[in-house]
Each structure stands twice: as C-alpha cells, then as structure tokens.
Amino acid sequence: MGRIIDISQEVFSCKVFPGDPSPHKDQILSINKGDACNLTEFSMCAHNGTHVDAPFHFIDGGKTVDKVGLEPFVGDCYVARHEGDVAASDAEVILEKAGRAGASERILIAGKATVTAGAARVFADAGIKLIGNESQTVGPENAPKEVHLILLGAEVVLLEGIVLAEVEEGRYFLSAAPLDLGGCDGAPCRAYLIG
C-alpha cells in the first residue's frame, strides 16, 4: 500500500460556506468533572468542512446521500492542478490527462479553481462519477446553482472542501465515503488518497 494522504479539513476549524451554520461542539460529560467518561455532543451543517453533495442538494426528488451508493466515492482518481476558472477547454485537457493515467472516473482539482458551466457540461458528458475541489462549492460562490444542476443532474457527485495543497498531479486511490445520513442532501466525510 502506498502513502496515505489525508485531504480532509478538521471539522471545528473548517471553512464554512457564507450563510451556512458553523460546526459547534459541547463536552457534556467530562472525566475531569467526575463523570465516567468524556462525551461530546456536536451540531453541524451537512455541508461543513470536507463533504459530499448528493443530487438532492439542488434537485428536488434527486437521490439523497444514502441512495447514491459508495462506488463514486471510492476508487482511482486523478488530481489536476488549476488556478482560476476551469473553462470547457481546461476540462477537456484534465480529462485527457486523467485518461492517460487510467483514472478518468473521479477528478479532483487542486488550487483556487472554479468550475464553469461549460466545464461542468464537459465533465457531465464524459460520464465521470465524481468531481472534487478545494472550495466549499464547486461552482462560483456567488452563483453555484447552474454548475450544481449540470453535474448533479448527470448524477456526478461532488466532493467539496478537500485539501490538496501538498498533493502533486497524478493518479491516486481515493476514499471519501460520506456518513450514511438517510434522506439528506449531503454529508461530511473523511477523505484520503493513497498514492
């Protein structure tokens, strides 16, 4: 087995999409206070930190996270570096590199990248299973709906809020299985690469 690379944010210090509630924890039992154990209660948005988006996030009647299955989240992936808007032509280049590496079903984009609607259509038409990025949203932060509708409408699941600063371009094995939150539009996950 190769090196394991954690690409997840720590939950309680994570980036939060503007307007979303921040994660909160409360230690309700404490050994230091005479309790038998330490016990933490927490609350968070399904889209805090490193998380996945299921189609139901933007499509009423779309699959919820528990109905997506694990296959899109586990398997070979390609990490591509990009800064700025990912245009359709950029998506084609990324898919070409991923194809040569034998890992074109799952694409992770490292850098401050924003997937445009044109790129989303290229990825959706290619039939990929998952696209991931470092931002808390795959599309433009001020107008994420169109990109989400294109990708989630094609049942391309999204892995958002990953940390790829120290990851080089190339092929890896991805594990990013979400929590099994029945009926939810997304879920946090502990994402890692084996390379």
Residue in the block written with tokens 């074109």: 104
- Each residue of 28-54: pLDDT tens digit? 999 999 999 999 999 999 999 999 999
Instruction: Give the integer Cα–Cα distance in Å for 7 and 164.
Output: 6
According to DSSP, the β-strands at 192-194 and 4-6 are: antiparallel
- Each residue of 155-194: pLDDT tens digit? 999 999 999 999 999 999 999 999 999 999 999 999 999 9
Residue in the block written with tokens 């092929």: 171
Instruction: Give the integer Cα–Cα distance in Å for 4 and 172.
Output: 10
Q: What is the helix (H) or strand (E) element at residue 106, kind and residue range?
A: strand 106-110
**Cβ of 108: how many Cβ atoms within 10 Å?**
28
Instruction: Give the integer Cα–Cα distance in Å for 144 and 149.
Output: 9
- The model carries a pTM of 0.95
Residues 9, 15 contacting (CB under 8 angstroms): yes
What are the two backbone dihedrals, phi and then psi, of residue 88, each rounded to the nearest 5 degrees? -55, -40
Does the pLDDT of residue 1 top 90, yes or no? no
What is the Cα 86 distance to its own chain's centre?
A: 17
Sign of CA dihedral 115, 116, 118, 120: positive
Residue 192 bridge partners (DSSP): 6, 175
> Residue 2's pLDDT is what?
86
- Each residue of 2-35: pLDDT tens digit? 899 999 999 999 989 999 999 999 999 999 999 9
Instruction: Give the integer Cα–Cα distance in Å for 106 and 74.
Output: 9
